[in-house]
Each structure stands twice: as C-alpha cells, then as structure tokens.
Structure 1
Amino acid sequence: MPDAPLTDLQMKQAAERFGTPLYAYSAAELDAALSRVQAAFGDARIWYAMKANPNLTLLRRMQSAGVGFECVSLGELARAVKVEADGDHLLVNGPAKSDEEYRLGGDLGATFIVDRLGEVALLPPASRVLVRVNPGLSVSTHDHLATGAAHSKFGVRPDQLPDVLAALRSGGHTLRGLHLHVGSAIRDAGDFAAAFARVAELHTLTGPLEVLDVGGGWGLGADLHGIAARAKEAAASFGAVLWVEPGRYLVAQAGVLLTRVMGHKQTGRDFTLLDAGMTELLRPMLYGAAHPVQALWEGEATTSDLAGPACESGDLLGHDVTLPAGAVRGDLLALLEAGAYGAAMSSTYLTRPRPAEVLWDGTQWVTMRRRETAEDIWAAEV
C-alpha cells in the first residue's frame, strides 16, 4: 500500500471527530512540496494556481511563504482580495474573462495573461500583460488536461503572435513576457523540454523580455530539477526571469479523502460501496484519474471497484483496486493524492453537503472548512 501524508492513527482520529466523507491535509507535506519546487527552480518566482484548491487557509499559508496567485475567475480574485493579496502578487488568466474580472484585475493592478487577439481591446488601460502561447504539442496526459495541444481552446498560435504584440503596443499596454502551460499531470518530462524549446524560438519575434512564465503541470513524481534546467535555458534565451505556476503539485499529496465502507455487492463486477463518490471527488469520472488507495483494515488481498452512493453508473472512484478482503460497514478508506481538484471540484448534486476540510498542523487538527448542511445548500433559493 502507498504511504499517506498522515498516519493511520491521525486519519482514524480525524474521521471519528469530524465524520466522513472528510478531506484531511498535512501541513508538513504542504511545506515539503513547496520546498521541492523552491529547491529545483531556485530564484524563479512561484505563483500558485488557485483552482487546484482555493481554501483560504491554504492561500494564507502560500502567501506567508511569498507565493503569488494565479486566478481564473471573479470568485478566485475575490479570494485573493480576502487574503489581502496585492496586484504584484496576482495573475489573471482564462480564455473568456468577464467584464467584472477585467475591472477588478485592473483595479488591483494585476498582470493579465492574454489568451487571444480579440482580448487586447478588452484590457483595462495601461495593463501589464503576458501573452499565452499555444505550442501545438501532444503531451502525455489525458486529453482534457492537454492545454498546449493544437486543438486546445487555450493560447495564441505562434503565427498569431506578431498581431497580438502589435495590438498591445498600439493599445498602450506593457508586454512583460510570454506564458506557456502545456497541460496538467504530465507524465513524460520530455514534453516540457519540447515545449520550452518551441517557445524559446519565439525570441526572434519578441526580443528581450522581462518574464518567461512556463506554468506548471508537472506530474507528482516528475524530475523537477531536470525540468527546471530546461526552463532556465528557455528563459535565458529571452534574457528573462523565470516564473512557474504549480497548482496540483503543491497540494495534491498533502490531502486525503477519508471515506467509510457502506457495504459490498456483486453484479457483473465486485463493488465496495463507499459514503464518498463523484460529488466529493470528480477526477476519476472527469479525467479517468486513478488515486492511490490506503485501506485502514486488514485482510487477504482482493480486488474490487470503489462505488459511490450517487444513482449514476459512472459514480466510481476506482476500478480493480487492490484491497484487503473482509471489509465491514464502517471500515475506513483513504483516497490519496486528493488535495488538488478534490474539495475544489466537489458539488452539492443530490443535495449532498460538501465535506469538511481539516488540517493537521503538527500538533492538532485545525478546521479549514466546516461540513455543509442541507440548509446551507438551499439558502440562496427562493
């Protein structure tokens, strides 16, 4: 079984105290992930891709470590305001920004990441800008996560870049640099080398730049030092400082989703029934993500599918998962690497209250988000 960021005893105590389903995080692993990025990328500026997990407790921890925020919605900008982040620590990204997002980003003095030529006319006056480039590469990840592919909705094609640069100049905006993000959960480090090399070729169009932002998307077991070396070479071709935007890498391994066994059944498949499912963890259904699992009971090894409680055939958290046999109702299971896009993508479908989130700070459990109630869900309904 893989190791969890929390001990079995800590997970059992958390589940007993706060109930399940439950998101539980390790502060030590959050710190360790950030340290790994800092060690690999050195002086590169780090921006946290807030969409991975926007909990205010996590944002304040990132902010205290000097990390900036990449925001892709009005709500994420509001969270940045809530933690009192200033414009020098904010990036505004996204392919279809609203008028309100331009207005608030401009008021805060954030740097905008321009995603298409038509966006230049929508920018607030005298904006600071990075231009997102789509290198048109196939990468080793799920198609829904391949943001740098030619068919992706993201970024400016290299042949479109001269027109975007001209529009920025005529509009009175400041080009700070280029932005590149080719995907998430990328398995082959060679994909990054290919992308960095392709964007470095654009220096003949741009000349020297202040910034090269190479995004994130590194798989959790990636060779960060090797990736960083190639990124630094690309930045040097522009005479630019290097920026990176990790999201999942910083928080995924710090979090687990704790769930209890509700029962067992067999049809054409063997199913272990859980009290958590697609409403708590969407990634398996959305991306085909396979989360490591740690069972907190003992028995001979067997295989089973992990089925959630929703009346949806796709509500499965794992296929052919190796588990100890003999699980009984109430046994505890931990889905690992769930700190990113877990709680952030949870929903209230079926009027299921979203889970609580708690943090082990090294000495005690701290509540990051209380469990919702049914009343919370319908509070805005009229």
Structure 2
Amino acid sequence: MTIPPAALQTAAERFGTPLYVYDAAELDAALLRVRAAFGAARVYYAMKANPNLTLLRRLHAAGVGFECVSPGELARAEVVGASGAQILVNGPAKSDAEYAAGARLGATFIVDREEEVALLPPQSQALVRVNPALAVSTHDHLATGAAGSKFGITLQQAPRVLEALRAAGHTALGLHVHIGSAIRDAHDFTAAFGRLSELREETGPLAVLDAGGGWGLDADLHGIAREAWAAATAFGAELWVEPGRYLVARAGTLLTRVVGTKRTGRNFCLVDAGMTELLRPMLYGAAHPVTPLWDGPETADWDIAGPACESGDLLARDISLPQPRRGELLAIGEAGAYGAAMSSTYLTRSRPAEALYEPGRHSGADWTPIRRRETPQDVWAAEI
C-alpha cells in the first residue's frame, strides 16, 4: 500500500465507504516499469481492468493506446481522444456495433476466429490471435491460452487466416498472443513465444507481434521482454504489449469499514464492502493484501465477510487482525484492477465513489473525486 494511512482516513471521512482510491504516483510508476522493460514496444492498456475516464485520460496523455472488448469501451476510448493506431478491437464474439465503431475510429481488429475475416469492414487492419494451447500457471478462468479456451485460432490455422485477410483486401499486420492473466511463472511466456516461432517459415516476415499482457504483479518484466523481443525479431516485427492489471492493480485500494464481528464456526470480521465491490476473491479465489488501519495486539485470524446473502461473500480468509471494532477501517490492496470494473448493483447496492490521490496537485487538497457514489435512484434509473 503506497498511500499513507492518514490520507486513507481522510478519504474515507470525505467520501464515505466502501470507497475505491487510486495512487497517481503508483500508476505512473507501473507504466515506467513497463517501458523500462519493453523499451520501444507500443503499449496498449487493456481497458477492462479499470475503465475510469480519469485514469484513461492520464494513460492517453502518456502515449498509451487502448485494447477494447465492447462498444462501451470503444466509446470511452473515443471520449478521451484516442483514434486510429491507438485503438485495438479484441474479443471472441464482436458485435456489428463494434465493427462499425472500430472502422469509424480507424482501429486495428484482432481476429479471433477464421470466420471473422468475412465480417471485417472493408480494408481493415488486423492481427490474428493465436492460441498456443498451453497449460499456464493461473486460475482456469484466466487461462486464455489453454487448449480448451474460447480464445484465438490454432497454430495450424494461423497462416491460412493471414492469407485470407490479404485475399479479402485487408492489411494483415501479424500475430497476437495473450495466454492469460495473473500468470505466476514467466516460463509460460517463453513457451508461448516458442510455439509462435513454429510459424515463422509459413508466415514469412510480419509487421507486428502483439505479445499481450497477463504478467503477474511480481513478474520479471525484463526477462519476459527479452523473450518477447526475440520472438518479434525472428519475424522482423514491431512489438506491441497489452498490460491491464499490471498497470492499475497496485495503484488501487478498496477502503471498507468494520460493521461488527461474529464468532460461529469461524471468526468473522463483518465489513461494508463485499462481492459487489471486489468480486475477484469469489470468482477466482484471488488473495488480496489486507491492512487494518487501527492499532492493537493481534487477537485472532479473521475471515473478512461482506454484507451479501451469499456464503461466498468473503474478501479474505484467515487474516490476523487486532480486535476489530465497529467503524474502524480496513484497506484491501491490489484492488485497482477488476474492483470497480467488476462492481455490481446486486441487491440494489449503489456502486462506490472513486478518488485519486495526488498530493501537491491541487492547493490544499490531496484527493480528487473521479466518480461519485451512486444513489438507489441511479441504480434503477433505466428501468421502466
């Protein structure tokens, strides 16, 4: 956690809880780490990790492009000023709206299946997404490069699809590979790039190799970058990368207040945030660091439980805490990715506010609100 506890207390008092807060300095530092490792590679942010417009504007101003997987994400990219080579359109089941918006913006399409060639707008630029059929070190739901995944085409299909793109009048830029998210073992990337090298003789030189993202937060980026550049160089290609979670996860913290405690078969610390604010623990079994913002001797191991009527509504298990007291704050770390992005209004819960920490940016104020808290009326506003 990079934001001082006193500043977190201030944010909670000002904006209420649950609350997503982001550290601008950590966001900038993560991008610097990527650029230091990957050098001249073109960087596209996988917007699905966190689509807040303030964060997108900051990344766009830093020269980062966007990988989009829905009409809404394309609309966000356009709103912050991105166009043309700054936008990639990805996804296994693109809609007509996505093809139309991508064509209007001059985006590059990532072809995910052979039949998609016939669906592309005339004279499109495209990459072909290849599935290397690997077992990788992440949760099954995050393993997009596994043989049973819905993503990409087979290695055997790739040369044929590249040729089909050219025959249809499109620009076949090259290949794309993204094997998953939160990958723990860097050797998985080495294996994926090695599989791509099998295509070199059949494809000939390519303009672009898009190596995707998915690096674990503690990954050896320089090692991965060396392997990616070696693969790109073998094709004579420019290297593109698509970090998402890596750029924003550690910049974000979910603040939640203790509601009370309960001792049954286990010790529960009850809080005002849960699966509607941070779904990853329930969806992927993800473990997020938990920091209590109060002092005292550690009393026991606690499960951090949210308010939803779901047994799986747990933010963490077996966390050693000082005796929890009603009103105290917990900081759930690494929540900048897929926290707000996956938040929901299940149980007609209003989605939280979001705030950016940037000390010294504004006179007398370290915090900038970047999303207001929803009201119940906001939640049902579209209902008839």
How is 1:228-247 mapped onto 2 (pairs within 5 angstroms)?
228-247=225-244
Alignment of 1:1-382 (within 5 A): 4-301=1-298, 302-324=300-322, 326-363=323-360, 364-382=366-384
Query: Following TM superposition, where does structure 1 have runs of at least 4 consecutive aligned residues deviating by more than 6 angstroms?
Result: none
Cα distance in 1, alignment partners of residues 67 and 166 from structure 2: 24
Question: What letter is aligned with 1:22?
Answer: L
Paired with 2:19 and 2:126, the residues of 1 have a C-alpha distance of 40
Q: Name the SS for the 1:47 alignment partner.
A: strand
Letter in 1 for 2:321: L
Q: Do the aligned partners of 1:200 and 1:235 also contact (CA within 8 Å) in 2?
A: no
Alpha-carbon RMSD: 0.7
* Percentage of identical aligned residues: 70
Distance in 2, Cα, partners of 1:237 & 1:323: 52
Q: Does 197-206 or 76-85 show the bigger shift? A: 197-206
1:17-74, CA deviations, whole angstroms, 9 ceiling, x for partnerless residues?
A: 1000000010000000000000000000000000000000000000000000000000
Contact 2:162 2:174 (8 Å CA) reproduced = no
Report the residue type matching 2:106 in the other structure. Answer: G
Provide the aligned length of Structure 1 versus Structure 2: 378
TM superposition shift of 1:272: 0.5
Contact 2:159 2:199 in 1 (8 A): no
CA contact (8 A) 1:136 1:148 kept: yes
Q: Per-residue CA shift, 1:273-332, capped at 9, x if unaligned?
A: 0000000000001110000011011222221111000011111111111222x2110000
- SS of 2:162's equivalent? helix
For the 8 Å contact 1:41–1:228, the answer to whether it is kept is yes
Shift of 1:162: 2.8
Q: What amino acid maps onto 2:65 in structure 1?
A: G
Distance in 2 (CA, whole Å) between partners of 1:314 and 1:130 is 39
Q: Is the 8 A contact 1:72 1:92 kept in 2?
A: yes
The one-letter code of the counterpart of 1:365 is W
CA distance in 1, matches of 2:224, 2:204: 24
Once residues 140 and 113 of structure 1 are traced to their aligned partners in structure 2, the CA distance between those partners, rounded to angstroms, is 24
Aligned 8 A contact 1:71 1:91 in 2: yes
C-alpha displacement of 1:230? 0.6
CA positional deviation for 1:362: 2.1
Contact 1:28-1:362 at 8 Å conserved across structures = no
SS in 2 for 1:319: strand
In 2, the alpha carbon distance for the partners of 1:160 and 1:206 equals 11
Preserved CA contact (<8 Å) 2:68 2:89: yes
Q: Report which stretch shifted further, 165-174 or 349-358.
A: 165-174
Preserved CA contact (<8 Å) 1:27 1:362: no
- 1-structure distance, mates of 2:196, 2:67: 21
SS, match of residue 138 in structure 2:
coil
Instruction: Point out where structure 1 has 5 or more consecutive residues left out of the alignment.
Output: none
1:170 to partner: Cα distance: 1.8
Could you give the per-residue CA deviations for residues 320-350 of structure 1, whole angstroms, max 9, x where no partner exists? 11222x2110000000000000000000001
Q: 1:131 is paired with a residue of what secondary structure?
A: strand
User: When the two structures are superposed, what TM-score results if normalisation uses the length of structure 2?
Assistant: 0.97
Amino acid at match of 2:253: V
Shift of 1:203: 1.3
Instruction: Indicate the larger mover: 156-165 or 108-117.
Output: 156-165
Could you tell me how far apart the structure 2 residues matched to 1:127 and 1:271 are?
A: 55
Residue pair 1:272, 1:305 contacting (<8 A) in 2 also: yes
**Conserved in 1, the CA contact under 8 Å of 2:282 and 2:312?**
yes
TM-score (norm 1): 0.98
Residue 79 (structure 1) shift:
0.4
How far apart, in 1, do the equivalents of 2:200 and 2:338 lie?
Answer: 35
